[in-house]
Structure 1
Amino acid sequence: MVGPTRVEVLFAPHRRKDPNQGLDLLDQRLAAARRRLDLSLFVFSAQELANRLAELQQRGVAMRVLADPGFASRSFSEVLDLLGLSMPDRFCKLEQDNNPWRQPIQGVGTPRLARGDKLHHKFAVIDGRTVITGSFNWSPSAAHGNDETLLIVESSQLAGHFTREQDRMWQGAELGITARLQRKLERIHRTCGRGTPRAQASANQQP
């Protein structure tokens, strides 16, 4: 196998104001996307990264986003933003700075998994060249609370392997607002309506 042209490793956690923290590094790498972005994530709860994806969408970057089915419909999941949805939590509160997209993308969904299986990947492929992977979930807890590894590799050959894994999971994936998600939204909205904003003090209490 041809060696990668560049490898970058980051170990979390960091303080929130640390310029080297993992969410800032992810944001910088995502901002460099020009044509195509594949994401396969277990937990995606970082609002700033969802906002970056919205900016990429406006620039015309093609995206395929897969998330774990058990996580995707949680109230703090940024997958909901991409679908143009907001979901109150069990206290009828919305996450701080919630920002559902006005123009939801079609390329977001959940793979069909074997019973008891989880989509435990945490990877991105940018423009068929840059691979982001490791134990690092795309969440505040991964950046600031957990001991995690974030690995960035510049290699078209490695990117090809990860793209083929994305292709495999994409086949048969349920895209958009599934019937299961719609039923959950209806149940919560009957209880909470559209919800009320979460207080600033608890805004970062997310996985």
Structure 2
Amino acid sequence: MAAKRVSFPSEPLTLSCVKSVFSLFKSAPKGKSAAYFSPGEDCLSAIQECLRAAKSSLRICVFTISDDRITQAILAAHRKGIKIQLLTDNEKLFDKGSDIRQLAQAGIKVKVDNTTNHMHHKFVLVDNTQVLTGSYNWTRSAALYNHENVLVTSDPQVVAGYAREFTRLWNEMTFLT
């Protein structure tokens, strides 16, 4: 429509610039995103903030949880009435310091991977509108000794992809007994 109305000498250049700007906006990620890195407390703080920000649900999919600061944030969300689903690797349940059974005993729905594969994801969906993901294991050593990363985004396409993966795994895994 705009192409038909432009009728001055610099028309091709102006129209080209306008089209370029609009194509940038169309392809730009939707929603906010932020990256965090460790060692240090930045990744841990991002995780805690996402857990605290939940209004209705947390869908957690992590290899293990042994950092009591994260466990306490999950339990606080549970006490607020946030619906929590937790997927984890079955073999990590037996590690010293694993907090998975504590979370299950508190009434959080926990499913474990009983396949020959390791469930090695590390992500959480917050209210199905935001995802936190990255290499960061939810352990104290990740904050203290490892070079790790966490990405938080509310890009709808990214969130939808993680939601599909969570649902697929939730349907595949078995409840912790």
TM-score range, shorter chain: 0.7 to 0.9
1:53 to 43, 58, 74: 74
1:43-90 deviation per Cα after TM superposition (whole angstroms, max 9, x unaligned) = 211111111111111111111100111112323111111122xxxxxx
1:115-166 deviation per Cα after TM superposition (whole angstroms, max 9, x unaligned) = 2x11110011101111111111111111110011111111232111111101
1:160-193 deviation per Cα after TM superposition (whole angstroms, max 9, x unaligned) = 111110111111321132xxxxxxxxxxxxxxxx
Aligned to 1:30: 51
Aligned to 1:12: 38
Report if aligned partners of 1:68, 1:111 keep a CA contact under 8 Å in 2. Answer: yes
The normalised TM-score by structure 2 is 0.79
The normalised TM-score by structure 1 is 0.68
Aligned to 2:110: 108
Q: 2 CA distance for matches of 1:171 and 1:126?
A: 19
Q: 1 CA distance for matches of 2:175 and 2:78?
A: 17
Structure 2 unaligned spans of 5+:
1-26
Q: 2 CA distance for matches of 1:109 and 1:75?
A: 19
Report if aligned partners of 1:44, 1:78 keep a CA contact under 8 Å in 2. Answer: yes
Aligned to 2:166: 166
2:100 to 74, 79, 104: 79
- AA aligned opposite 1:109: K
> Superposition RMSD on alpha carbons, in Å?
1.6
Structure 1 unaligned spans of 5+:
15-19, 85-100, 178-207
Q: 1 CA distance for matches of 2:172 and 2:102?
A: 22
Aligned to 2:127: 127
Report if aligned partners of 2:43, 2:149 keep a CA contact under 8 Å in 1. Answer: no
Runs of at least 4 residues off by over 6 Å: none
More helix by share: 2
The answer to whether residue 153 in structure 2 is matched with residue 153 in structure 1 is yes
CA drift of 1:112 comes to 3.4
Larger Rg: 2
Q: Using the aligned pairs only, state the percent identity.
A: 25
How many aligned positions are there? Answer: 151
Q: 2 CA distance for matches of 1:12 and 1:45?
A: 17
Report if aligned partners of 1:73, 1:80 keep a CA contact under 8 Å in 2. Answer: no
Q: 2 CA distance for matches of 1:45 and 1:75?
A: 8
- AA aligned opposite 1:73: F
CA drift of 1:2 comes to 6.1
CA drift of 1:27 comes to 0.7
